[in-house]
Structure 1
Amino acid sequence: MLRSLAPALIPLLAPRTALLAIVVTVCALGAGSWGAVTLLDHRDTLARAGAETGRAAAAVAGQALGVLEPRAARVDALAQRLAEHPDEAADGAAVAAVAGADTAGALAVVDAAGRSLAGPPVAITAGDAYRPARGAGPAVLTVEVGGVASLALARRIAGPDGEPDRFVLGPVPRPDLAAVLDAARGDAALYHPDGRRLIGDGPERWAPDDGARLWSRRPVDGLPLFAGVSVARAAVLAPWWSRLERGAAVVSLSLAALLGVAAVGWRSLHREETAMRALAEANTRLERRVEERTADLSALNRKLIAALADKERANQAKARFLSAANHDLRQPFQALRLFHHLLSERLADPRDRAIADKMGTALDSGEALLHALLEVATLDAGVVKPTIDAVSMDDVLKGVAAEFAPAAAAKGLELRVLPCAATVRSDPVLLARMLRDLVGNAVAYTAGGGVLVGCRRRGQWLRVEVWDTGAGIPPEHLDSIFEDFVQLANPERDRTRGLGLGLAKVRRKAALLGHTVDVRSRPGRGSVFSITVPMAAPEPAAAPSAARGGTGEPRPAARRILVVEDDPVQRAGMQLLLESWGHRVTAAADGGAALAAVRAGGIPDAIVTDFRLPGDLTGVQVVTRIAALADRPVPGIILTGDTAPERIREAVATGCRLLHKPFSPDRLHDALQALAATDPGGGTGGATAARRTAQHAAA
């Protein structure tokens, strides 16, 4: 079961895997993007803060230089004067006057011990404050002037021994620097080069590597100090942390929404997977049921094939039986017909002739059945080749009316045949036979009323209809009436009411001609049979051909005729009949005897031979051998009682004329007369004449 479901589950797992991959990818991309943006924002925030502290330090350095530079200039000037006039340096009053002690921002002079010599009293706040001042350059000290923290710029004055014994100080009170230091963002201060805070709110020591603050320093040009600005990293990153919290909230909500959508999609895919699994299981069950039904149908089909094969074998056996029975029955019928003809000509007593006439009627009934079987066999054999031509329906209808008017009058029926000037495309012989079969059925199965034959035009088609007022046909039997030997109203098989082959022949001829045969019927009211044929342009009527001669025409001149027949009764009857017509007859029982008779007595004028003969030669081969002996075509008539399709095709392929048993003496007379009228050098008994004889043999 799992193996059968695997192909169905793989397409289902793929969407779920794809959904999971999409969700993970989106989450990773979203989190990664947000993390990258956050890190970049952290770096940019620190960078901006560093840049701002740098700018603040530069501003502090510049402003401090502006405040300290004038004081430094005064200190340098006083120190230079005192160095140039040592006497003034020794005189405290002179120094005080020069330092300007009585003015704001006055300079102060102190000795090496830090005692004030001139100017405002100055308290040194750092014990080693003088050390930086021992050099040649200016120094920076932190002092208190009147209790006010100040930044003092100092310059040494060297004594006679070259050692500094006095110092000029230029104090700058912190309030003077407050505006400079307080304007900076962060903690600003002025620092000694060694990192000590001199004045301001910054850390006491310059420590840029502590990691807790951001540091920026800028030197104060010309002075031994630098401006430093620092700001706590926590203060700088506070906005960043706020943005981080808001971004985390937004990302969390987005991920939650995405996971919610993914959950909904996952459940939808799960439901679809469940439905598809159920569908796959149902499909598997359906396939199993289809396989079972297919197996059942295969078994039934095999049974049907076997049944059809049995039916085909039965049909073939029936055909062989009918062919053999037909052939075997034709032999005695043919002998009876010949002897009946001879007997009728020799009877003079009217009562004897009446008996002979009744015998002839019985023979006619039997021969009608055999001829019907022959016609069906001929149609099934496919040897009938229709000759399509323009056919005048008026001529066909007149012939039908003339043929069936006596039979209809004998039954008290009114036969009305409406004239029709239309011309159709069909075989005139086959179309006339189809119509005769339909009208004959209508007359036979109509007890009272009448039969109407007429035509209706339907566009390019013409419907030839035969109406009757008979008992009608039940709807369930409308198809079966076209089958062989089916007679709904004749269960007792009365031969005077037909054989049940008329409609079967009509159906076969219609299929051969491409026409359509239809039937409509209402039980108790009557039936309508119709033949639909294509219309054709009317043509001038052809001159009527002369009727074929029968026994009333002059008989042909006496001829030498070779009769080859294995049945002694038929051979004797044929010999008597031909001799009564004035011919000289030589009879033989088989092909060998016929050839021997020809060698002994000469080439005959005509050959009348049975198709089947004892020995190795057939009737066709006998005619061929004799023609070879004569070195010219010899007219021949092939007699056969075989209605098998293959036998009929074989007989039609010969160059001889063909007569089916039983045939009347008149038909034999006509065939001999046709042979006499045919040019021997033109192919006497050619295939065309033989084919025409085969087509109309059952007429």
Structure 2
Amino acid sequence: MLRFPNRTSSSAPRAVLIGIVVAMTALGGLSWSAVTALDFLDTLDRAEGDTLQAASMIEGQAGPVLRHGFERLDGVARRLEAGGGLSAFADAAIAEGLSASGAGTLSILDTEGRTIFGPTIALDAGVADSLVSEMTAAVGRGVAALPGRAEGEEAVVLAQPVAGPGGRFQGTALFAIPAVRLTGVSKAFEGRERTAGLFRPDGLRLAGHGALGLGALPLPAPGDGLVEMERPLGGRASLLALRRVGDLPVLAAVGVPREVVLAPWRIRLDRGVAVALTSLLALFGLAWMGWASQRRETAARTALEEANTRLEQRVEERTSDLRALNQKLVRALNEKERANQAKARFLSAANHDLRQPFQALRLFHHILIERLRDTQDREIAERMGEALDSGEKLLHSLLEVATLDAGVVRPNVTDVPAAAVLEDVVSEFRAAAAAKGLALRVRPCPLLVRTDRALLTRMLRDLVRNAVAYTESGGVTVGCRRRGQWLRIEVWDTGPGIPAEQLDAIFEDFVQLGNPERDRSRGLGLGLAKVRRKAALLGHAVEVRSRLGRGSLFAVSVPVAAADRAAPAFAPASSGREPRKDGRLILVVEDDPVQRGGMQLLLESWGHHVLTAMDGEAALARLRAAERPPDVVVSDFRLPGDLNGVQIVTRAGELLGRPVPGIILTGDTAPERIREAVATGCRLLHKPFTPDLLREALAAVGTERAARQAQTAA
């Protein structure tokens, strides 16, 4: 017995299979349709980009040439307008300048369109008829571009109206650029059913090939471009790309028929039908792979973001710590700066205030010791002088540092024999070294060096003084080593040495090692600070090396003088003493009555006549009432009232009608005060000063006055 299969049961899988096939076919058809539509749009987008790029290439080639032509044309028009319009042709120099047209043909037309300068430039009939009216309306509004011919060749003609006095139209300047210079890129599209070239905003073609006219065109902003998708060209819908050439009324245009643009897409459309199902399957596979890849990428991105978050937290914590530390450091630096400024103000004030009584003591001590005749009394006075000398040395050290900081020291650099300087320095400390049982040796050096002898001597004196002071046994050696064009002057000692961490600190102000009790007999701690300042002023280098328990080496590097220079001859120093001149009238201005009285007694003991005043107003009053003008004004720098010492000397000269010699006395060591006093030309004495220094200053101003009188008489 035969049994047939159950049709119902066999059709169910088939229906399912058909349903799957139909569903897949429908899905594939939809997918293929979507891809085809996207391809269609993409084809148009690519064509749009290609045509815009082609227009940019044409604009890139033509832009520099047209801009150069416009600059030439604009320069000619401006020159004509500046010269009074077309009447400038009466000037041969202007005509000669206009003839230098450069890479193009220049012509000048009158108001009727006739050529009055340069070769004839032929314009197309359509634009030639309207040229005059167009140029008349364009006065003051820029350049126009026209198609034409120059010297038998196609050309792009730039036209610019020429305005005369009152802005009236007087003619047109034309500049023809050969079309071959502008169509190199557009020729690449020739024969490909394209329109490419340069066009006016009204659509008239200036150069290129294809359609002669495009109709009215939009004018993009300079440097911008645009694309029209449905521009009719030659009876066919075309894609048209436009770019403006700089800020000129010229457009670079490329037009392509849409059927040419879509031809590749139609080929792909035919081939796509055959592979639609395969593409559909491939799309599913790629989608699955993409989804899996995206899932892995998401997981990796999440892990990276978490790691980045943790890193940013750590960086923020470190930054916060550094910011807090930096703020602490800034506060510490500010505190240090305020402390240094406070110290400087205190020292300046204390230095000034201490000099006043020291000066009075010095004056009265000088007068007292001249009047004492008893031996025991003079011995007491001499001990008093020693105490004054000790105090003055401390003040003078502060003054020297302040003077160096003020920048008023001017080195006198000459050829100096090194041996003489070394011998002068060492001879000063032989007795002190012998008293401590030290061997003080100097090694001779035959070289000349370029330096300031006085400053170098003071530097070496401070170095040798320190070496002798801090060396308890052994000795001190001073010698030289030549290093190329430099001479190292070295001071060796066998003292206790300096810790490595203190080698920089010893050059700071008021730093003394091994003197915690601040014994003033061992100095103030300013010696090495002054050495550093003087070395910087002279451009010399200072070096230090030291070993604990073995000793130290200080070296100053000084440039060697030229080999062919002879050693300078040394003249004996002048004693600085002035022969006694009685009868000089001296005006003393001092607000401190003790110092004023002491100064008066001292000067009168030298045979001078003295007028005294406590401030500027009183001094000027004494000058007006005096029977004869003073020979010298001796004044303190800082005085009560509106006038200081320098101003009193100046006002005295104005009152008497001639310059009056002045000696300024000051105890102020502030750098700005020192610079101000030195700039006046007066003699400057720092308190406390010895009577001998005052005597020398009086002699100096007397000598200068005599020289001026002799020069005037001659």
TM-score range, shorter chain: 0.5 to 0.7
Give the alignment's TM-score, normalised by structure 1.
0.58
- Residue among 494, 500, 503 paired with 1:469: 494
Q: Distance in 1 between matches of 2:340 and 2:608?
A: 44
Distance 1:556 1:421, change over 3 A: farther
Distance 1:272 1:668, change over 3 A: farther
Asked if 1:459 is matched to 2:480, the reply is no
Contact 2:448 2:567 in 1 (8 A): no
**Paired residues for 1:3-18 under 5 Å:** none
Q: How many residues align?
A: 438
Contact 1:548 1:670 in 2 (8 A): no
Q: Distance in 2 between matches of 1:673 and 1:623?
A: 18
Q: Distance in 2 between matches of 1:556 and 1:415?
A: 46
User: Identical aligned pairs, as a percentage?
Assistant: 69
Q: Distance in 2 between matches of 1:409 and 1:683?
A: 54
Asked if 1:375 is matched to 2:396, the reply is no
Aligned residue number for residue 493 of structure 1? 518
Aligned residue number for residue 125 of structure 2? none
Q: Distance in 1 between matches of 2:551 and 2:664?
A: 45
**Paired residues for 1:63-212 under 5 Å:** none
Asked if 1:619 is matched to 2:645, the reply is yes
Asked if 1:444 is matched to 2:444, the reply is no
Asked if 1:670 is matched to 2:704, the reply is no
Asked if 1:609 is matched to 2:632, the reply is no
Q: Distance in 1 between matches of 2:411 and 2:294?
A: 72
Amino acid paired to 1:406? A
Once the two structures are TM-superposed, the CA of residue 406 in structure 1 deviates from its matched residue by 2.4
Amino acid paired to 1:666? D
Aligned residue number for residue 677 of structure 2? 651
Q: Distance in 1 between matches of 2:576 and 2:435?
A: 27
Q: Pairwise CA RMSD of aligned residues? A: 3.3
Aligned residue number for residue 618 of structure 2? 593
Aligned residue number for residue 301 of structure 1? 326
Give the alignment's TM-score, normalised by structure 2.
0.56
Cα displacement string for residues 237-267 of structure 1 (whole angstroms, at most 9, x for unaligned residues): xxxxxxxxxxx9xx99x989x989x97x998
- Residue among 384, 390, 398 paired with 2:423: 398
Contact 2:418 2:445 in 1 (8 A): yes
**Paired residues for 1:280-299 under 5 Å:** 280-299=305-324
Cα displacement string for residues 587-646 of structure 1 (whole angstroms, at most 9, x for unaligned residues): 211111211111111321111110011111100011001111121111111000011122
Tell me the SS of whatever aligns to 1:536.
Answer: coil
Once the two structures are TM-superposed, the CA of residue 680 in structure 1 deviates from its matched residue by 5.9
Once the two structures are TM-superposed, the CA of residue 528 in structure 1 deviates from its matched residue by 0.6
Distance 1:617 1:287, change over 3 A: same
Tell me the SS of whatever aligns to 1:424.
Answer: strand
Distance 1:284 1:589, change over 3 A: same
Q: Distance in 1 between matches of 2:310 and 2:411?
A: 58
Aligned residue number for residue 180 of structure 2? none
Aligned residue number for residue 317 of structure 1? 342
Tell me the SS of whatever aligns to 2:416.
Answer: strand
Cα displacement string for residues 307-331 of structure 1 (whole angstroms, at most 9, x for unaligned residues): 3223222222221111111111000
Once the two structures are TM-superposed, the CA of residue 672 in structure 1 deviates from its matched residue by 1.3
Distance 1:504 1:279, change over 3 A: farther
Distance 1:295 1:387, change over 3 A: farther
Cα displacement string for residues 377-397 of structure 1 (whole angstroms, at most 9, x for unaligned residues): 122223323344433322321
- Residue among 407, 416, 423 paired with 2:448: 423
Q: Distance in 2 between matches of 1:571 and 1:621?
A: 19
Q: Distance in 1 between matches of 2:505 and 2:428?
A: 28
Amino acid paired to 1:564? V
Cα displacement string for residues 287-309 of structure 1 (whole angstroms, at most 9, x for unaligned residues): 33333333333333333333322
Contact 1:365 1:495 in 2 (8 A): no
Tell me the SS of whatever aligns to 1:678.
Answer: helix
Gaps of 5+ in 1: 1-23, 33-247, 685-699
Contact 2:471 2:494 in 1 (8 A): yes
Amino acid paired to 1:438? L
Aligned residue number for residue 540 of structure 2? 515
Distance 1:652 1:287, change over 3 A: farther
Amino acid paired to 1:625? R
Q: Distance in 2 between matches of 1:460 and 1:542?
A: 20
Amino acid paired to 1:378? T
Q: Distance in 1 between matches of 2:581 and 2:301?
A: 94
Once the two structures are TM-superposed, the CA of residue 272 in structure 1 deviates from its matched residue by 7.4
Distance 1:278 1:546, change over 3 A: farther
Aligned residue number for residue 527 of structure 1? 552
Once the two structures are TM-superposed, the CA of residue 504 in structure 1 deviates from its matched residue by 1.2
Rg larger in 1 or in 2? 1
Aligned residue number for residue 177 of structure 2? none
Aligned residue number for residue 362 of structure 2? 337
Distance 1:285 1:592, change over 3 A: same
Gaps of 5+ in 2: 1-27, 37-274
Asked if 1:478 is matched to 2:500, the reply is no
Q: Distance in 2 between matches of 1:275 and 1:554?
A: 101
Once the two structures are TM-superposed, the CA of residue 398 in structure 1 deviates from its matched residue by 2.1
Tell me the SS of whatever aligns to 1:555.
Answer: coil
Cα displacement string for residues 534-559 of structure 1 (whole angstroms, at most 9, x for unaligned residues): 333153233323323256x6334542
Amino acid paired to 1:515? H
Amino acid paired to 1:665? P
Tell me the SS of whatever aligns to 2:685.
Answer: strand
Distance 1:367 1:279, change over 3 A: farther
Tell me the SS of whatever aligns to 1:316.
Answer: helix
- Residue among 575, 586, 589 paired with 1:549: 575
- Residue among 487, 496, 505 paired with 2:530: 505
